[in-house]
Structure 1
Amino acid sequence: MKLLGLHHVSILTGKAERNFQFYTKILGFRLVKKTVNQDNTESYHLFYGDAKGSPGTEITFFDIPGLGHTYPGIGSISSTSLRVKDTNALHYWEERFKEFRIQHGQIEKRNNRNTLAFQDFEGTSLVLVADNGEEGVTAGVPWDKTDVPVEHAIIGLGPVTLTVGVPDKTVQVLTDVMGFTQSGTYPSLAGDFPDIMVFSTGEGGSGAEVHIETRPDLPRMRPGRGSVHHVAFRVPNEEEYDYWAQRIAESGLMNSGKVERYYFKALYFREPNHILFELSTDTPGFDVDEPIETLGEKLALPPFLEPRRTEIEAKLRPLDLDDK
């Protein structure tokens, strides 16, 4: 059994309102679920994705007002990629970033793909990556209710980069436990350091890759606003989820055991460089409690939290996302 690819990436934000404005109004994502952090129901959890909230397209944020700065370093998910159709889309985004004064780099090659690096307002390191007809994990469905033309829309997650001091044990977990295979290398973006290693799973392509950057010169990352909390990988269904839960347990990795998130089933564990991984099922999906047409419009709570709605809403800070 193979993991299908990336499921979602979860990041910390100190300002949900501005986060919503950036990811929906500038990047053109759809808000597919407005809910709470199930482990801390006084905090919002916002999910952005494609038109259907498809697995493999979701970038999510935990809202923690007053969160401090991130100090980059090892033991981190140091960048998150977002897929677009082709290099023409990268040129569109280059001009859009200039228009909105978004910090960005130049179009350049990474792992033989055209890419464009940029940052959100909290310093989150993001990279647009062009598919250009490459085979692999299927892209998502563009959200057409935005001013971003559908032919240039963000259509899914691309590779995540893990920055570590010593890669060997992380590689071992990816390959021996999680079934990834090494599919290439490319030069370090930081100068005279080991080549970045590329690992793939499932059907491959940018939606199914993890890149490992070795940086023994860096201190350990100190998380804050804009830092990535965890990366989740796709498990197609509950039967295979049971298999992976057993496999992770037998590996000796400390893990959460099975966790019911209602929209998907999850399992969490830290690999040897202390980066948090999650395995998440594709099913049942975000339309299990809301019609596709109105995803993300109301505060959604899973059934096991619904009896506490009045209490939860009373403790949440007001959050007005309209026209922000």
Structure 2
Amino acid sequence: MDIKGIHHVSAITKYAQDNYDFYTEVMGMRLVKKTVNQDDPSMYHLFYADAKGSAGTDFTFFEIPMLGNTYEGTNSISTTTLRVPDDEALSFWKERLEAEELEIEPIIERFGRRMLFFRDPEGQRLALVSDENNSGIAPGIRWKTSDIPESFAVQGLGPVYFTVPQLEPTEQVLTDILGFTNVDHEDDIHRFSTGEGGTGGEIHVVVDASLPRERPGKGSVHHAAFRVHDREELEKWVDRVQNAGLINSGLVDRHYFQSLYFREPNHILIELATDGPGFDTDEPMERLGESLALPPFLEERREEIEANLKPIHSSHWK
């Protein structure tokens, strides 16, 4: 029962079309699934990932058009990081993001890796992390685009950042229940690792009691998910989480993977998700994300669901 690494991060957008344009045109990621929030099919759920939609590469977004702004603070998933092949790739991305007039910070080194922190057009807190010195979990398969060299392309999710007012409650869940290892820390940032480790298997916990509690809105993160092998193993995790006294969802079948949701004591929503069956269960690999995909239990409502969604069109950014 080992957590294998990061599975996906799910965030919130106010504008699905603008979100699609940015993450496909600017960031060069592949839309591998265009579907709906299974708990509220009136809203899109978009999945961007590597060339094959591999677990550990999915950055997903729920569209909630009526959202206000995010008021940043603690008890939050405060930054999502994306892996790139090496330090040279960071220089490429710095120039590319500057050309888009995005809010970016200078390249820094943290835990022996170079990183570039920036924000997307909605203020989503992001960072690119270099895999130049990575020796852990293998990256995904880079998606080929016309204007991003494959040698610089995004290749999966890097460390997920939690911001909390107190370390101990979150640390206890990560280490005692989920089996992460507290590796080290730099100032008030504590690094936890799981599975084969490296950039694809870490949580960085920022401790800052001076901040107010975050009020989520557009550009915030809803939850972070971590990888388990299969449904049989996930059922054991349901028992472990339940026995630990954490309120949880029980096993939920999301069609493309099975999931378990719970909140740790600092109110961060965590999901455990299986690696499979994968996004090609209802679409051929070469056509992923091209049409609206619905899980079987929503298929009979397709006409109603499609009528309530504003179509997303392929378009050139700016």
8 Å CA contact retained: 2:29, 2:143: yes
Residues 177-214 of structure 1 show CA distances to partners (whole Å, capped at 9, x for unaligned) of 00001111112xxxxxxx21100000000110001111
Aligned position for 2:195: 202
Aligned position for 1:192: none
8 Å CA contact retained: 2:21, 2:315: no
> Which residues in structure 2 correspond to 1:1-324 (within 5 Å)?
1-187=1-187, 195-323=188-316
What letter matches 1:110 in structure 2? R
The 1-side partners of 2:132 and 2:148 are apart by: 19
The 2-side partners of 1:140 and 1:119 are apart by: 23
- Worse overlay, 301-310 or 271-280: 301-310
Number of residue pairs matched by the alignment: 317
Residues 68-100 of structure 1 show CA distances to partners (whole Å, capped at 9, x for unaligned) of 000000100011111011000000001111211
Per the alignment, do residues 183 and 146 of structure 1 end up closer, same or farther by CA in structure 2, a change over 3 Å counting?
Answer: farther
The 1-side partners of 2:146 and 2:56 are apart by: 20
What letter matches 1:247 in structure 2? R
What letter matches 1:314 in structure 2? A
Per the alignment, do residues 146 and 233 of structure 1 end up closer, same or farther by CA in structure 2, a change over 3 Å counting?
Answer: farther
The 1-side partners of 2:278 and 2:135 are apart by: 25
TM-score normalised by structure 1 residue count? 0.96
Per the alignment, do residues 321 and 42 of structure 1 end up closer, same or farther by CA in structure 2, a change over 3 Å counting?
Answer: farther
Local SS of the residue matching 1:312: helix
Shift of residue 320, structure 1, vs aligned partner: 2.9
Residues 111-166 of structure 1 show CA distances to partners (whole Å, capped at 9, x for unaligned) of 11100011000111101000114211110000013421110000010001110111
- Worse overlay, 303-312 or 14-23: 303-312
Shift of residue 101, structure 1, vs aligned partner: 1.3
What letter matches 2:224 in structure 1? V
The 2-side partners of 1:56 and 1:149 are apart by: 22
Local SS of the residue matching 2:62: strand
The 2-side partners of 1:315 and 1:3 are apart by: 38
Shift of residue 66, structure 1, vs aligned partner: 2.8
TM-score normalised by structure 2 residue count? 0.98
Shift of residue 316, structure 1, vs aligned partner: 2.2
Local SS of the residue matching 2:271: strand
The 1-side partners of 2:302 and 2:250 are apart by: 26
Shift of residue 300, structure 1, vs aligned partner: 0.1
The 2-side partners of 1:308 and 1:235 are apart by: 31
Local SS of the residue matching 2:191: strand
The 2-side partners of 1:277 and 1:256 are apart by: 11
8 Å CA contact retained: 2:30, 2:143: yes
What letter matches 2:159 in structure 1? P
The 1-side partners of 2:306 and 2:87 are apart by: 44
Shift of residue 323, structure 1, vs aligned partner: 4.2
The 2-side partners of 1:86 and 1:323 are apart by: 27
Residues 273-313 of structure 1 show CA distances to partners (whole Å, capped at 9, x for unaligned) of 00000000001000111011000000000111111111211
What letter matches 2:235 in structure 1? D
Aligned position for 1:191: none
8 Å CA contact retained: 1:14, 1:63: yes
The 1-side partners of 2:191 and 2:272 are apart by: 20
8 Å CA contact retained: 1:25, 1:146: no
Local SS of the residue matching 1:305: helix
Local SS of the residue matching 1:104: coil
Gap runs ≥5 in structure 2: none
The 1-side partners of 2:151 and 2:68 are apart by: 37
Identity of aligned residues (%): 55
What letter matches 1:279 in structure 2? L
What letter matches 1:12 in structure 2? I
